[in-house]
Structure 1
């Protein structure tokens, strides 16, 4: 070990090394130490990094933000320290004390990885300090302590420490490798283009929530029926849960509309408001068709059930992988109910598809706050019905529209602050699983690959992107303004710090790597699939779901 040559650690703008320890062994094999790696374990304010010697670095680093052996702190689920001699084990949280010198560190990660480090040759005090640092920095007490704020702040403040205003490169557009830009839906013009693209002539862009004066969790701009005036919307808002008035999602070519809506908090006003909302949606339909309401809270599993099922899947796949026979393992997967819930969301979405396309009626997806289950169902329905959303740019615009701007609580549901486990729920992961199920049935109908879905899922745990860092657009604005003031960062004409969206893939990957996102079998609207031995066109009205009979 005396001749080990270590590669330099990759440090990003705003990233600082907090603690490190030499002569650490990273355990690779489960039963043998033959393939283990020796090197330095480093904790920064962004990641846990393991730097090994160049002779064993067989793979070129693909991700521009993370090295081959790096783990973002936001991805760390549990920090466990072990002392073999004393037979002690401790799960570390923030600001905790450790009464023994660890001989082993185990990181349980949210992306289903378990990473083990041994300190047999390392200094015991140094090993303890780096373990405590990892535990502390993986439990930020405030959103502004997430690394994304330091990273983005440096783009405005300057890494040299000289105060100046400079617009970050990512604010000029989020383009794919063919130069096509993903709309962020943070301005009226992008909503207006979506109205024209879908032919929703009787719908308009509404600015009633500018400055978030009506609802803190809604975007500043969204789409409503032409027949509903701004004054009416303001009047109605106080009767809806968290003031979330109905949102237009999409229009079918036959005129049927897909709408999302929170529950009406005042039971005395419920019937009257339902009639007014349904009447406005009916007027927007060229045939004045009926409106059907789908109560997602009654028809789908709740977030607690979904989280419990996911916990069982993690236990099966990560904690106890393949300890039993394959048959027993598959039985355990089935009993977790995860696939049952995936099937439930796909089945319900297919039923909504039938109403919109087969029955020519508009559908309202209603949920208590319209920030969780509605995101999954509305996205799946549009994915099944609209070929645009099965393209790469279209899919990204779908997530931006139905998740980010609609106020899905990514900060809470991903539990980035590790404060409240009751709010944690992998709804976005569930959605990606549903998408993967459909992709496997219709492989030529999607422009993107399962590699893209995996990379998108992994990006949730890189706390730099506006896409997954906040609960709603207003939270992003308020926190970034407060952070800028605390750091004396001049924002110039900007309203707030602009965080990069995940859709700017050039921040993570080269053009060569991004090419792996593209499905070579993609044929767009004319996609075919093989079903029961026959080649059939992609039919939007009937989607087979896992476990279906």
Structure 2
């Protein structure tokens, strides 16, 4: 497919750009395969705006007479308004932006077309390989191993091909554990605490169901992370009520009778759709210039955004405290073991590990927890 097929009007003059807290600017708007580009006409202070189509979350169209207005809401919280003379031009540009910002194929995205104008000094694809992270771990302990059980994503489609697991657990046991966990996300190492040797693992919920199904391999894997005489904590990112309801759908949580050395703590973190609604309200409040301070604070509170942030930070602080102060290992999971689980494990590592608070360490954390 050619991008030109999607661009009905590649250029429009006399377009006025409006942004909250900035003066309006008149200039020329251009559309390319991956960018919306706005260039001002002012000779004294030329201004350019480059906006990736993939950064656009939604657009709205408005018309007053022959003047069309496009309001673009971006994924980075910006809201941009473009006043475009001519209804036809406005409609063409709006439909082009909608098409270019909702491309289905990943290979049509900007990174596959980007050609750097400088010398590449490092291959980013090989900067944070599991083998490199494992080398750091082996300098501290010999109780873990690299498993290639997920080669070609045959066991779990959302795990990397190589994962770090306890040395005492073989691959055949891991396969059985995977069948016992939602989406086959079996417990894997997320963080090793150098100070006391405690660990943080992550997974999805166990598939106990209403019959209280158990998996001895799962119990053995989780207990393999405990020191003799030590207890561990399971931090469930769902409320107790939601976790109990999950049993009716085949999910559930670790039964105390089968995991006696583990204490389960429920720290409710809202699911994605609730957080998205809250974020939308926050963005609207931040971009509304008509508010006085009292109304702004009221809308901020009504969005519940800070409440959600507090819940996530509280869960992460609890995980960090269990590991560092209680000297206990931790397993974190919700239902799928993705969004809320990774928020907690990532923030806990930032709290515990100074390396994660460096640029290089933070990059490694994002790749390890979110991308691989």
Distance in 1, Cα, partners of 2:368 & 2:291: 43
SS at match of 1:297: coil
Matched, 1:301 2:269: yes
Q: Shift of the alpha carbon at 1:288?
A: 5.2
Structure 1 residue aligned with 2:100: 137
Q: 1:240 to 1:56 in 2, by over 3 A?
A: farther
Q: 1:352 to 1:22 in 2, by over 3 A?
A: closer
Structure 2 residue aligned with 1:310: 279
Matched, 1:352 2:293: no
Distance in 2, Cα, partners of 1:133 & 1:334: 37
Distance in 2, Cα, partners of 1:374 & 1:351: 13
Q: Which of 9, 13, 25 in structure 1 is aligned with 2:15?
A: 25
Matched, 1:378 2:345: yes
Matched, 1:83 2:63: yes
Q: Shift of the alpha carbon at 1:56?
A: 4.7
Q: Shift of the alpha carbon at 1:139?
A: 2.0
Alignment of 1:112-131 (within 5 A): 112-120=77-85, 124-131=87-94
TM-score (norm 1): 0.56
Structure 1 residue aligned with 2:335: 368
Q: Shift of the alpha carbon at 1:326?
A: 0.2
Count of matched residue positions in the alignment of Structure 1 and Structure 2: 337
Matched, 1:275 2:185: no
Distance in 1, Cα, partners of 2:19 & 2:198: 56
Q: 1:374 to 1:170 in 2, by over 3 A?
A: farther
Distance in 1, Cα, partners of 2:355 & 2:78: 34
Question: Any conservation in 1 of the 2:150–2:160 contact (CA below 8 Å)?
Answer: yes
Question: Any conservation in 2 of the 1:24–1:39 contact (CA below 8 Å)?
Answer: yes
Q: Shift of the alpha carbon at 1:169?
A: 6.9
5+ long unaligned stretches in structure 1: 1-13, 60-67, 86-100, 156-167, 175-180, 406-549
Distance in 2, Cα, partners of 1:30 & 1:368: 39
Matched, 1:104 2:69: yes
Distance in 2, Cα, partners of 1:22 & 1:71: 16
Question: Any conservation in 1 of the 2:16–2:84 contact (CA below 8 Å)?
Answer: no
TM-score (norm 2): 0.81
Distance in 1, Cα, partners of 2:82 & 2:132: 48
Distance in 2, Cα, partners of 1:322 & 1:102: 23
Q: Shift of the alpha carbon at 1:171?
A: 9.0
Alignment of 1:256-267 (within 5 A): 256-267=198-209
Distance in 2, Cα, partners of 1:102 & 1:238: 59
Q: Shift of the alpha carbon at 1:114?
A: 2.3
Structure 2 residue aligned with 1:335: 302
Question: Any conservation in 2 of the 1:81–1:102 contact (CA below 8 Å)?
Answer: no
5+ long unaligned stretches in structure 2: 240-266
Distance in 2, Cα, partners of 1:30 & 1:322: 7
Distance in 2, Cα, partners of 1:259 & 1:360: 15
Which has the larger share of strand?
2
Per-residue CA distance 1:242-269 (angstroms, 9 max, x = gap): 1111110111221111100111224454
Q: Which of 115, 123, 128 in structure 2 is aligned with 1:173?
A: 123
Q: 1:278 to 1:38 in 2, by over 3 A?
A: closer
Question: Any conservation in 2 of the 1:233–1:245 contact (CA below 8 Å)?
Answer: yes
Q: Shift of the alpha carbon at 1:49?
A: 1.1
Question: Any conservation in 1 of the 2:176–2:217 contact (CA below 8 Å)?
Answer: no
Distance in 2, Cα, partners of 1:171 & 1:47: 26
Question: Any conservation in 2 of the 1:322–1:329 contact (CA below 8 Å)?
Answer: no
Alignment of 1:82-481 (within 5 A): 82-85=62-65, 103-120=68-85, 124-149=87-112, 151=113, 172-174=122-124, 183-185=127-129, 188-196=130-138, 199-252=140-193, 253-267=195-209, 268-270=212-214, 272-282=216-226, 285=227, 287=228, 289-298=230-239, 299-303=267-271, 304-318=273-287, 321-405=288-372
Per-residue CA distance 1:292-337 (angstroms, 9 max, x = gap): 211112222222222221121112112xx24232022112212211
Q: Which of 31, 34, 41 in structure 2 is aligned with 1:46?
A: 34
Q: Shift of the alpha carbon at 1:232?
A: 1.1
For CA contacts below 8 A with separation 6 or more, give which structure has more relative contact order: 1
Per-residue CA distance 1:165-192 (angstroms, 9 max, x = gap): xxx9759434xxxxxx98423xx42132
SS at match of 2:10: strand
Q: Shift of the alpha carbon at 1:46?
A: 0.6
Per-residue CA distance 1:52-85 (angstroms, 9 max, x = gap): 33615446xxxxxxxx312111222222222212
Distance in 2, Cα, partners of 1:139 & 1:314: 21
Distance in 2, Cα, partners of 1:45 & 1:395: 31
Per-residue CA distance 1:391-420 (angstroms, 9 max, x = gap): 111111111111112xxxxxxxxxxxxxxx
Question: Any conservation in 1 of the 2:18–2:82 contact (CA below 8 Å)?
Answer: no
Q: 1:36 to 1:365 in 2, by over 3 A?
A: closer
